[in-house]
A and B are shown apart, each in its own frame.
Chain A
Amino acid sequence: MDQLIVIGAGPAGLAAAVSARAVGRPVVLFDSSDYLGGQYWRHLPPERPARRESVLHHGWERFQSMREQLEADPRCEVVTGAHVWAIDHGRIHVMVGEADGTDREARVYDAGAVVLATGAFDRALPIPGWDLPGVFTAGGAQALAKGERVRVGERVVVAGTGPFLLPVAASLVRSGSTVVGVYEASRASRLVRHWTARPWELLATPHKVLELAGYASSHIGHRIPYVTGHAVTAIEGRDRVESVTISAVDGSWRPIAGSERSVAVDAVCLGHGFTPRLELAIAAGCRLSAERFVEVDDEQRTSVASVFAAGEITGIGGVDLALVEGALAGHLAAGGRLHDPAVRMLRLRRGVLRQFARRLARAHAIGENWTTWLTDETIVCRCEEVSFASLCSAATTTRSSGLRSLKLLTRAGLGACQGRVCGRTVEGILGARTPQGRLSGPRTTDRRPIAAPIRLGELARQGERTTSTKQRP
């Protein structure tokens, strides 16, 4: 039987590989990291063993059992350090070796059936001073705590929106930092409205509610102030973070004049939700949803019949939803049937977890007036150092409302990260300020034909070896 290719070994990809193997299908599992687990189970490498690493994790035993099962299975090929950099014409291009290396092994696989499980990364909204050293994304701080045992600072502020801020604060405390506060920009009234709407839905996800309540009572309640309706609206320091300005914000996230307060900190963790890693799905030809995730049907199948998707590239829903979607995708992509009894339960659970995710998304939606905390000089595109004022003037002074030409004009989103960090923010800022009040032309922000960085030399060698097309050196 043809092998199933699973890209991404986070919760979704691991679950997909396990359930595909249960159906008997051979699996190839790729992850660019040098170990399995994805963002959720980011852990210390084998060179740094610890007796009780599980204290940093939820569901650690489940992870270990999936990992052991797959690694011991001769019909599952686990390839770590596997940077999938392109999908084209039914072929998957992978560079295997160390990150950003020069001498990696180029491999090409036929994409018979594929499960995409590439996950998501933190979104951080620009704030004056957010380019100072000492500012991290919330997930970055989490990754450094779990994967390096590095604490990002001694006195840390966590700010943004969403329930993810809570585990980040908890990890910081467990790493010995003092968390001066968790500032949730959504106001309490909004949280209450969405959390208490249709309470019967919550009954189906009691452990999720308890998990959040657990963070609230153990850390947030006792040691860390959890403050709603407040945001970090400026970050100050000469060459590194020294203090932040915290302001009360209204329901649209506009800072309320006179509410500002300065707090001394040496690190800031920002999280305003997550952005899915869509480039491989787009390259494979998969249609995106209106909310700009990979669109999937009841079977986790994308608009391309042989390509399935699971986890946070299909919507932000946390680890439990990623696991359920992954299990479904793996089963069905491997040739399992939709009527199998195990699948019925998974589908029910998926429905419940998606409801929960929608509730969170509504409660923690980004306020439309957040840009009022920016100054003219605030850097929006960190790579190309494009300021808020230059974006605004490009949008208002040129006739063009096309994203592409505005990006070429300002260089926003064209730097090293290829708009991963600022892309959606730049779109929002430009769109609101063009004479038409919106952008025209295709939304190219998520499209990156080369999904993982490769060097020209490697590309040239790969060209010689595997295709007849001439590559430019």
Chain B
Amino acid sequence: MTARLVPEANDPIAPRAATPITITVNGEPVDGVLGQTLAGVLLASDILAWRSTSFGDRPRGAFCGIGVCFDCLVIVNGQRDVRACQRRAASGDAVVFHRDAPLGPSGDR
């Protein structure tokens, strides 16, 4: 087990009911609540990595959580390079993971 949402029932902040939303992640439905960022929805569903790097093809997800590191990039509704930790999720958002083509010998993308 790893990253996930603090269970509402025993959360000391006593959350009120939130509005459920559903997004798709690589075509599969994933549930979240209104107000979460895309990174929040992904992490809450125990999805820890959603990008692979260009050189090493290594998995990456969120790192800094505040929009600084750019590790958390996703494609949302066709828009590339969206920082998942900065974008609020909206019902119906279609998230696709970045799979950067490996770089050519000259380093061109």
Q: Which residue of B lies closest to A452 (CB)?
A: B67
Ordered by A's residue number, 10 sampled pairs between the chains whose C-beta atoms are within 8 Å are A47-B35, A98-B87, A121-B68, A140-B66, A141-B65, A147-B37, A150-B6, A153-B3, A154-B1, A417-B70
- Top 5 closest pairs, chain A to chain B, by CB: A140-B65, A47-B35, A99-B86, A416-B70, A148-B40
Residues of B within 8 A of A416 (CB): 70, 73, 81
Q: Can you list, as one digit per residue, whether each of B29-70 has a CB less than 8 Å from chain A (1) or not (0)?
A: 000011111011001100011000111101111111111111
Q: Are A150 and B43 in contact (CB under 8 A)?
A: yes
- B7 at interface, CB cutoff 8 A: yes
Contact B67 A32 (CB under 8 A): yes
Residue of B nearest to A265 (CB): B2
User: What CA separation (Å) do A45 and B32 show in the bound complex?
Assistant: 14
Residues 118-174 of A contacting B (Cβ, < 8 Å): 121-122, 131-137, 139-145, 147-154, 174
Could you tell me if B13 and A53 are in contact, using CB atoms closer than 8 angstroms? yes
Interface size class of A (residues with CB under 8 A): 35 or more
Shortest Cβ distance from residue B35 to the other chain A in the assembled complex, whole angstroms: 3
A448 to chain B, nearest CB (A): 12
- Report Cα–Cα, A142/B85, bound state, in Å: 13
Please, which residue of chain A has its CB at the minimum distance from the CB of B42? A150
Residues of A within 8 A of B (CB): 32, 34, 39, 44-53, 55-56, 98-102, 121-122, 131-137, 139-145, 147-154, 174-176, 239-240, 266-267, 382-385, 411, 415-417, 420-421, 453
* Least CB distance, B31 to chain A, in whole angstroms: 14
Chain B residues within an 8 Å CB radius of A46: 35
Is A421's CB under 8 angstroms from B81's CB? Answer: no
CB atoms of A240 and B2 under 8 A apart: yes
| Interface residue from B2, B12, B87 paired with A267 (Cβ < 8 Å) | B2
Q: Chain A contacts of B18 at CB under 8 A? A: 47-48
Given A385-B56, A417-B70, are A44 and B35 also a contact pair (CB < 8 Å)? yes
**B11 part of interface (Cβ distance < 8 Å):** yes
Chain B nearest Cβ from A60, distance in angstroms:
11
Please tell me if the beta carbons of B35 and A144 are within 8 angstroms of each other in the complex.
Answer: no
B69 near A144: Cβ-Cβ < 8 Å: no
Distance from A227 Cβ to chain B, minimum over Cβ atoms (Å): 23
The answer to whether B1 and A39 have CB atoms under 8 Å apart is: no
Q: Given A50-B16, A102-B79, A150-B43, do A139 and B65 touch, yes or no (CB 8 Å)?
A: yes
| Complex Cα–Cα for A267 and B49 (A) | 13
* Contact A149/B11 with A137-B63, A140-B66, A383-B70 known, Cβ cut-off 8 Å: yes
| Chain B contacts for A135, CB-based, 8 A | 63
Q: Please name all residues of chain B whose beta carbon is closer than 8 Å to the beta carbon of A148 when the two chains form the complex.
A: 5, 36-37, 39-40, 43-44
The reply to whether B6 and A151 form a contact with Cβ atoms under 8 Å apart is yes
Determine if A140 and B62 form an interchain contact, defined as CB atoms under 8 angstroms apart: yes
Q: Which residues of B contact A152 (CB under 8 A)?
A: 2-3, 43
Best-surrounded residue of B34, B49, B61, B65 (most CB of chain A within 10 A): B65
In the complex, which residues of chain B have a beta carbon less than 8 angstroms from the beta carbon of A382?
60, 63, 69, 71
A251 vs chain B, min Cβ distance (A): 29
With both chains docked as a complex, state the minimum distance between the C-beta of B87 and any C-beta of chain A, in angstroms.
5
Contact across chains for A417 and B69 when beta carbons are under 8 A apart:
yes
Q: Knowing A52-B13, A150-B43 touch, does A143 contact B3 (C-beta < 8 A)?
A: no
